[in-house]
Each structure stands twice: as C-alpha cells, then as structure tokens.
Amino acid sequence: MKIYHESDADISFLKGKTVAVIGYGSQGSAQALCMRDSGVKVIIGETEKLENSENPSWKRAKEDGFEVYNIGDAASKADIVHILLPDEFHGPVYKAEIEKHMTKGKALCCSHGFNIVYKEIVPPADVDVIMVAPKAPATEERKAYLAGFGVPGLFAVAQDGTGKAEQVALAMCKAMGFTRAGVLKCTFEQETYEDLFGEQNVLCGGTVDLIKYGFEVLTEAGYPPEMAYFEVLHELKLIVDLVFERGIQGMNAVISNTAEFGEYYNGPKIIDPSVKDRMRESLKLIENGEFAKTWLAEARAGKPNLLKKRADWAKHPIEIVGKEIRSLFEKK
Ligand code: NAI
Ligand code: MG
C-alpha cells in the first residue's frame, strides 16, 4: 500500500473553503481544533439540547472559540460537511438536516465509512464523498498534533464529484497532522469492514472476554481479586505495549523463558483454531450487512441490550476492585 506523507498533500486545496464539523464530541473537537490551528476555516454544527437537556458539546465548542450553529445552518454555510456524530445518528440527522444542503461541488466527509457503506446515507452524485480517519483515539490525536507531529491516518474517496476529492481529503489529513506520521489510502468498504472486524473480534470483543474469564477463574478458585486484577488486566497493558513497540518476538525476548514456553504450551489450547471459524462467520455478518442491521435496529429501539450489558458490567467484581486499585496506585 502506498503511504502518503507531507509532500503528497497540499493544504491550499482547503483555501477559501469552510469545513463544518458536525458533532463536537471526542473526534469532532480534536479534529476541529487541529484543522483550525493549521489555518483552516472551521465552524461547528451541533444541537443546543440533547434529549431535553443542555448539550455540553455545544457549550464546549463555544468556549473553544468556534462559531457554533445548529446542524442545518452549519451544513448550509459549509463547503465540506464533516459528520462526526455517533454512527447510529448519521442517517437520521443527515436526512432531517443535512441532505438539502448537499449541493453540487460540496464534499461530505466522515471518519468511519459505516453509513455510506450500509447506505444509511445516499449522497447526490455531484458531491465529493470522502473519509479521513485517524488510527488513534481523539486524545492521542490532539496530543500528537500539539507535540508537532501527528497520528497515522486513513483516507478514502467513495465519490469524486468535483475531480478534486482526493486532494481535498489529503489536505484535511495534512491539516490534522496525519501526513506527518503517514496516511494510507483505502476504500470505504475496507475501512468499515476491517474496523468492525477488529473491534468485534480482537480489540474489544475478544480481549474483554479473555480478561473477564481469566479474572473469574482465578477468583472463583479463591485467589485474591486484587492479585487477579494485576495478572489479567494491569499487566495486559504492559505486554501489549511491548508488542506494539517491538513486535511479538521482541515481546517474547523480554519476558522470561518460562513465560514464553507457557505461551506456546497453553495459548493454542485456550485460543484454538476453531476461533478462526467464528471470526470468519463474524466477517461474513459484517460484509453482508447483517451486523449493521442488528446494531441500527438496537439503536432505534433505544439500545436496550447495550444498556443492560453496561449495567451488568458496572456490577462485575473486576470493575469494582479495578476502581479501588487504580485509585490506590495512581500518582498522588
Ligand atoms: P461522540 O460520542 O463523542 O459524539 C459526538 C457528538 O455528537 C456529541 O458530542 C454530541 O454533541 C453529538 N450528538 C450525540 N447524539 C446526537 C444526536 N442524537 N443528534 C445530534 N447530535 C448528537 O462521537 P465520536 O466517538 O467522536 O465519534 C464520531 C465519529 O468518529 C464516528 O463516526 C466514529 O465512528 C468516528 N471515529 C471515532 C473514534 C474515536 O476515537 N471515538 C476513532 C475513529 C473514528
Ligand atoms: Mg477502529
């Protein structure tokens, strides 16, 4: 894959253009602040009230010195409409407030391809449809930008209405510092499917269950929960940091020979090849739209299952002991 760097991107493609960042949450605030610091004209589209109470994001955007409009007004004033709302709201908000402002020559942008890929949003043919996405959480993105660098990113073009869609997407990547680290070009489908696969099978689903079962087996056998917490959660970060910095062999070179032998001896009994069959099944449900259908139906029903799981987790002993331990060991 080609990696795009500083010299491949030109911020002047954003000159004279207004970017409306729709949604001033985690990504919205980080991306808007970085682009503004790079000299791009950025306005914010938000809702003053969410579920009948004050929306803190509206207030925060004002405090950060942005012009803040309701979503429709921001979309009408903008050349580039960059939607950074939670994914489950893109479709309904687009239809209600943004669609009528997507006139010829504008660009519709996002940081996750979900709603374009699953056709929750179907933009008119004469606009650009682009994606610029950091490969990092928002906090890291802003920190790296302020340190004079940037996090790696992805960009994609689903539709080139103006003939300049790629240059505009790259200019946005540059304005957020991504091209300092390096940016990969992909398709909307690749980003969406890989992102969902990763979070469901390894990063969130997968890892969280492994931690949970490890903790439960130790504590049910009578081992102290505080120690179990350190073994299966706290130390996981240290191991993942090593893998991140040095690769798997590099991590194995640092741990003890006993730990490395144990990894080969027991790892494949815990995560056996049948896991791959279930991962393939998951990939199929992502690619054929079945997962998206299930998630959007859940979101529209008020997220009953998600809220139930959240409430269950709040009661789990690893969360209770974890909170205590983190407060005891934090820097005072
Ligand atoms: P978020 O959860 O921080 O929410 C963004 C803002 O949307 C909120 O501040 C709120 O003011 C507004 N909002 C919430 N519900 C709304 C509604 N019903 N109507 C109108 N406005 C509403 O969102 P986050 O996590 O920043 O995600 C935004 C986009 O960025 C998503 O497409 C996500 O997939 C993508 N993304 C997020 C990453 C992350 O680190 N959180 C990483 C990469 C991509
Ligand atoms: Mg992801």
Decide whether any atom of ligand 1 lies within 6 Å of the 85 Cβ: yes
Catalytic residues: 112
Sign of torsion over alpha carbons 59, 178, 196, 168:
positive
Supply the residue whose CA is at minimum distance from atom 12 of ligand 1: 23
How far away, in angstroms, is 191 Cα from ligand 2 center?
9
Per-residue pLDDT at 329: 82
Token pair recorded at residue 305: 């299952």
Q: Residue 141 CA: which ligand 1 atom is closest? A: 40
Measured between alpha carbons, how far is 174 from 212 in angstroms, rounded to an integer?
A: 40
Decide whether any atom of ligand 1 lies within 6 Å of the 47 Cβ: yes
What SS3 class is residue 285? helix
Supply the residue whose CA is at minimum distance from atom 1 of ligand 1: 25
From 21, 24, 27, give the residue whose CB has the most ligand 1 atoms within 8 Å, as the site to mutate: 27
Q: Strands 68-70 and 53-54, how do they pair?
A: unpaired
Architecture label for domain 3-186: 3-Layer(aba) Sandwich (3.40)
Decide whether any atom of ligand 1 lies within 6 Å of the 141 Cβ: no
Q: Write down the pTM of the prediction.
A: 0.92
- pLDDT category of residue 285 using cuts at 50, 70 and 90: very high
The H helix count followed by the E strand count for the chain is 17, 11
The percent of residues in the chain predicted with pLDDT above 70, rounded, is 100
Q: Which of the 8 DSSP states describes residue 119?
A: T
Condensed to tens digits (0 to 9), the pLDDT of residues 145-155 reads 999 999 999 99
Per-residue pLDDT at 255: 97
Condensed to tens digits (0 to 9), the pLDDT of residues 7-41 reads 999 999 999 999 999 999 999 999 999 999 999 99
Decide whether any atom of ligand 1 lies within 6 Å of the 27 Cβ: yes
Measured between alpha carbons, how far is 69 from 67 in angstroms, rounded to an integer?
A: 7
Q: 331 pLDDT exceeds 90?
A: no
- Domain boundaries in the chain? 3-186, 204-328
Q: At what angle do helices 188-198 and 274-287 cross, to 10 degrees?
A: 140
